[in-house]
């Protein structure tokens, strides 16, 4: 089973690769590769956090499945297919949908809300939506507090889409600074165990099927 330290090491290797690519930017266009690596590491981190969360609930890894296959949305005779970055299934039941971003702009958050609303209408078994972002670009206190209140724009948008409740998880402290990017060595930010453990707790709560089991898990951890 992957550990918190494993996740930290994988993240550091990914950012080091971004730094190496940035160093040769004048002889080769590496911007796309840097964006791709950052996006992939967020998805990889999220998958591993979900696996750790599930390991605290069940020892049967076969009950957990993750993919990003498109879901068919039908309106009369029209068909629209969509997927988010990570669909999480327990016993083949679609339970959690996650978007993984190196950072999330407000405009992108609007799109995520629309997709989440469509998914929720099409798949009633989904009980949680997440946005996992490496750095905060939504304003508010996401980069300051682990259990953040949010930003005015996000809170307002959430009120317009009451059908879904998106949990925004930010993996790094502080906000995204366009002039001081992560892929410059002097602006590197480490992953912290505190934020990773908080993410694991949030996923675990959403993976558990009912309140009584959440309470049972909480009592077991306390013991």
Q: What is the pLDDT of residues 155-177, one digit of tens each?
A: 999 999 998 999 999 999 999 99
The Cα angle at residue 170 between residues 153 and 50, in degrees rounded to 5: 125
If DSSP codes are grouped into helix, strand and coil, which group holds residue 157? helix
DSSP designation for 148: -
Is pLDDT at 218 greater than 90 in this prediction? no
pLDDT per position as a tens digit, 97-137: 999 999 999 999 999 999 999 999 999 999 999 999 999 99
Residue 39 clears pLDDT 50, i.e. is over it: yes
pLDDT, tens digit, for every residue of 77-93? Answer: 899 999 999 999 999 99
What is residue 6's predicted lDDT score, i.e. its pLDDT? 97
Longest dimension (CA), the chain: 59
The reported pTM is 0.90
Residue 82 pairs with which residues in a beta bridge? 71
Mean pLDDT of 50-63: 96
pLDDT of residue 222: 37
Q: Length of the chain, please?
A: 223
Short-list 152, 153, 151, 188, CA closest to 172: 188
Percent of the chain at pLDDT > 90 equals 87
- For 35-55, what is the mean pLDDT? 96
């Amino acid at each position: 089973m992957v550990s918190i330290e494993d996740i930290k090491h994988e993240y550091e290797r990914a950012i080091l690769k971004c730094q190496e690519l940035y160093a040769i930017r004048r002889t080769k266009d590496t911007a796309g590769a840097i964006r791709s690596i950052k996006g992939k590491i967020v998805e990889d981190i999220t998958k591993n956090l979900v696996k750790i969360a599930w390991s605290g609930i069940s020892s049967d890894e076969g009950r957990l499945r993750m993919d990003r296959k498109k879901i068919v949305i039908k309106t009369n005779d029209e068909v629209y297919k969509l997927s988010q970055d990570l669909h999480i299934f327990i016993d083949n039941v679609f339970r959690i949908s996650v978007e993984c971003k190196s950072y999330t702009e407000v405009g992108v958050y609007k799109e995520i809300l629309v997709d989440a609303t469509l998914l929720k209408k099409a798949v009633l078994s989904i009980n949680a939506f997440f946005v996992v972002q490496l750095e905060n670009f939504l304003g508010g206190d996401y980069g300051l507090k682990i259990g953040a209140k949010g930003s005015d724009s996000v809170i307002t948008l959430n009120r317009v889409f009451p059908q879904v409740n998106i949990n925004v998880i930010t993996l790094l402290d502080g906000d995204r600074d366009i002039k001081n990017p992560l892929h410059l060595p002097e602006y590197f930010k480490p992953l912290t165990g505190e934020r990773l453990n908080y993410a694991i707790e949030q996923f675990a709560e959403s993976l558990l099927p009912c309140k009584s089991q959440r309470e049972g898990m909480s009592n077991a951890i306390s013991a």
